[in-house]
């Protein structure tokens, strides 16, 4: 009995994941990417002077800095990375 | 409107505007802004109004004028109702910096800051705009508490003083933009959470909260500064060509920022009666004649704005006694025609 129930839930889960993969995954991926762009745009405005682009007065930049700490590395990497045409494919 | 009105004296100006509570003196350096800030505070305090005189000038001189060492010592009082504050902006910036460092260490449980972040904080803190913002922040903080009936701000020499006001307007636009980006990001967070069937996005966006706080502060302050019922901007002028040109420029700047200039005070005028004295030397005679020529120009150009003409004193206006004298001249002045 227990075995059967387990099988049932597993099947259910598999169907759910299949549907998610077919319908939602791309949307989520796209959303995550847009979300990242927004985060990076935000960081550019607030911490732009880190890269030599002063936009916000530093007093307020510093106020925002603590929240941006975990993202700084990836943000800088993305902005400083060399780009080529394959970028537009992904 | 103001152009048609008769010249209002300083006293009339204050008496007719009971809602007034923020007074700012602007103008070139060395013309007497600090003296008039102190004198105005002194006069208001004498009228029984709780007054705070606040120097925002890094080369602060309230200490000199009151002949007490008040620099960086918090709010001091040495006459009934008269309170004086001269902030040490360097120290404020340092404390602010330390606060940010500590916040990062606490937030992420770090022992020491990552090198690039530490360097960034150091670089940001040494920028000149940092002082300005810190002072500005201090001003807003003080006014928000509403502990005093009048706030008299002694601003740093021109340009900079007005910049503080325009900065509020510019910053406001920036904060608007940033908030917009944050809101969008939040929308995405929420959408994703629904797509994945989770409810994690309910967590409050702390950044958005922080931004709203900065915004509210700025809005409050720029609201006060642009409200001509509550805030008065005075310019100090001396009868010399450079000062006149500067004032003309300032008038244009005020216009472009939609601020009202509340009045102009002409300072350091040699008493023209001296010209009648027979023993007057050539040196003084020429100076007085030159000043009188420029006084004519000043009346032609700025008549509706002039609130007082204050004489040149035979000694530096320092100490409470001299400040009281200046206050008497500033608020006792009447148009003689």
pLDDT for B202 equals: 52
Instruction: Tell whether the model's pLDDT for residue B199 goes beyond 50.
Output: yes
**Structural domain total, chain A:** 1
pLDDT for B2 equals: 43
- Cα(B75)–Cα(B82) distance, rounded to whole angstroms? 10
Q: What are the CA-CA distances from residue B267 to residues A6, B205, B224, B244, B330 (Å)?
A: 92, 53, 27, 12, 9
pLDDT for B311 equals: 95
Closest partner residue to A35 among B185, B196, B210, by Cβ? Answer: B185
Closest partner residue to B178 among A42, A59, A70, by Cβ? Answer: A42
DSSP-derived pairing of the beta strands B263-269 and B82-86: unpaired
Range of the domain at A24: 2-89
Instruction: Tell whether the model's pLDDT for residue B5 goes beyond 60.
Output: no
Choosing among B92, B95, B102, B103, which should be mutated to test the A contact, i.e. which has the most A CBs within 10 A? B103
From the number of C-beta atoms within 10 Å of its C-beta (0-12, 13-18, 19+), residue B217 rates as: middle
| Domain membership flag for residue B42 | yes
Contacts 24+ apart (CB under 8 A), B239-244: B239/B266, B239/B268, B239/B269, B239/B290, B239/B291, B239/B292, B239/B294, B239/B295, B239/B298, B240/B291, B240/B294, B241/B294, B242/B28, B243/B27, B243/B28, B243/B31, B244/B294, B244/B297, B244/B298, B244/B301
Residue with more model confidence, B5 or A83? A83
DSSP-derived pairing of the beta strands B51-55 and B82-86: parallel
What is the mean pLDDT of the segment spanning A43-67?
Answer: 83
- Cα(A73)–Cα(B222) distance, rounded to whole angstroms? 36
- Cα(B70)–Cα(B41) distance, rounded to whole angstroms? 16
3 state DSSP class of B78? strand
Q: Phi and psi of B313, rounded to 5°? A: -100, 160
Least confident of A78-87, B231-240, B305-314: A78-87
* A74–B contact, CB cutoff 8 A: no
| Domain membership flag for residue B1 | no
- Cα(B105)–Cα(A55) distance, rounded to whole angstroms? 26
pLDDT for B245 equals: 92
Do B150 and B205 lie in a common domain? yes
pLDDT for A42 equals: 83
Q: How confident is the model at residue B6 (pLDDT cuts 50, 70, 90)?
A: low
| Domain membership flag for residue B101 | yes
Write down how long chain A is: 90
Instruction: Tell whether the model's pLDDT for residue A33 goes beyond 50.
Output: yes
- What is the average pLDDT value for chain B, to the nearest integer? 85
pLDDT for B83 equals: 95
What residues pair up with B84 in beta bridges, in sequence order?
A: B53, B76
* A46–B contact, CB cutoff 8 A: yes
- Cα(A35)–Cα(B113) distance, rounded to whole angstroms? 27
For B165-190, how does the pLDDT look when each residue is reduced to its tens digit (9 = 90+)? 666 677 777 778 888 888 888 888 88
B184 within 8 A of B85, measured Cβ to Cβ: no
B298 within 8 A of B44, measured Cβ to Cβ: no
For B87-97, how does the pLDDT look when each residue is reduced to its tens digit (9 = 90+)? 888 888 899 99
What is the mean pLDDT of the segment spanning B239-255?
Answer: 89
Do B117 and B212 lie in a common domain? no
Instruction: Tell whether the model's pLDDT for residue B150 goes beyond 70.
Output: yes
Percent of chain B with pLDDT over 70: 90
Range of the domain at B120: 93-125
Cα torsion angle, A71, A74, A80, A85, sign: negative
pLDDT for A68 equals: 86
Do B120 and B179 lie in a common domain? no
What residues pair up with B86 in beta bridges, in sequence order?
A: B55, B71
Instruction: Give the DSSP per-residue string, B169-182.
Output: HHHHHHHHHHHHHH
Instruction: Tell whether the model's pLDDT for residue A55 goes beyond 80.
Output: no
Do B39 and B172 lie in a common domain? yes
What is the mean pLDDT of the segment spanning B257-273?
Answer: 90
**Structural domain total, chain B:** 2
Min distance B247 CA to chain A CA atoms (Å) = 28
Do B155 and B105 lie in a common domain? no
Do B165 and B32 lie in a common domain? yes
- What is the average pLDDT value for chain A, to the nearest integer? 81
Do B102 and B41 lie in a common domain? no
The Cβ-side half-sphere exposure at B147, using a 13 Å CA radius, reads 11
Instruction: Tell whether the model's pLDDT for residue B328 goes beyond 90.
Output: yes
- Cα(B330)–Cα(B39) distance, rounded to whole angstroms? 8
Do B119 and B49 lie in a common domain? no
* A8–B contact, CB cutoff 8 A: no
- Give CA angle at B314 (B311, B320), nearest 5°: 85
DSSP-derived pairing of the beta strands B82-86 and B76-79: antiparallel
Do B235 and B112 lie in a common domain? no
Instruction: Tell whether the model's pLDDT for residue B50 goes beyond 70.
Output: yes
* B134–A contact, CB cutoff 8 A: yes
pTM: predicted TM-score of the whole model, two decimal places: 0.79
CATH number for the domain that contains residue B317: 3.40.50.300
pLDDT for B337 equals: 58
What is the mean pLDDT of the segment spanning A20-28?
Answer: 79
Do B121 and B30 lie in a common domain? no
* A24–B contact, CB cutoff 8 A: yes
Tokens describing residue A81: 């990375």
């Amino acid at each position: 009995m227990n075995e059967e129930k387990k099988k049932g839930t597993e099947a259910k889960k598999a169907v759910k994941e299949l549907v998610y993969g077919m319908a939602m995954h791309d949307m989520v991926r796209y959303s995550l990417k847009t979300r990242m762009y927004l985060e990076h745009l935000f960081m550019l405005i607030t911490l732009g002077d880190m890269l030599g682009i002063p936009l916000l007065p530093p007093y307020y930049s510093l106020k925002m800095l603590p929240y941006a700490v975990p993202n700084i590395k990836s943000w800088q990497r993305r902005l400083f990375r060399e780009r080529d045409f394959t970028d537009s494919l992904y | 409107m103001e152009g048609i009105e008769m010249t209002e004296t300083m006293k009339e100006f204050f008496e007719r505007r009971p809602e007034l509570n923020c007074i700012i003196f602007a103008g070139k350096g060395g013309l007497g802004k600090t003296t008039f800030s102190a004198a105005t505070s002194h006069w208001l305090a004498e009228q029984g109004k709780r007054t705070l005189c606040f120097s925002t000038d890094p080369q602060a001189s309230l200490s000199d004028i009151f002949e007490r060492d008040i620099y960086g010592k918090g709010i001091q009082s040495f006459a009934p109702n008269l309170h004086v504050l001269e902030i040490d902006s360097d120290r404020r910036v340092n404390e602010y910096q330390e606060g940010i460092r500590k916040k990062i260490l606490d937030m992420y449980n770090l022992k020491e800051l990552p090198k690039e972040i530490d360097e960034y904080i150091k670089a940001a803190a040494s920028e000149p705009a940092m002082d300005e913002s810190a002072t500005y922040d201090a001003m807003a903080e003080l006014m928000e508490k509403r502990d005093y009936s009048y706030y008299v701000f002694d601003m740093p020499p021109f340009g900079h003083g007005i910049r503080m006001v325009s900065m509020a307007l510019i910053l406001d636009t920036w904060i608007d933009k940033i908030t917009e980006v944050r809101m969008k990001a939040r929308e995405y967070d929420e959408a994703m959470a629904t797509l994945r069937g989770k409810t994690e996005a309910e967590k409050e966006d702390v950044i958005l909260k922080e931004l709203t706080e900065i915004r509210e502060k700025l809005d409050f302050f720029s609201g006060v500064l642009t409200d001509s019922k509550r805030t008065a901007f005075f310019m100090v002028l001396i009868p010399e060509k450079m000062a006149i040109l500067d004032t003309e420029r300032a008038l244009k700047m005020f216009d472009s920022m939609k601020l009202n200039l509340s009045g102009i005070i002409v300072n350091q005028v040699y008493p023209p009666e001296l010209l009648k004295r027979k023993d007057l030397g050539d040196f003084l005679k020429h100076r007085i004649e030159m000043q009188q020529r420029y006084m004519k120009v000043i009346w032609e150009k700025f008549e509706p704005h002039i609130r007082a003409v204050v004489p040149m004193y035979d000694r530096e206006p320092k100490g409470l006694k001299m400040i009281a004298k200046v206050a008497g001249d500033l608020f006792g002045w009447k148009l003689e025609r």
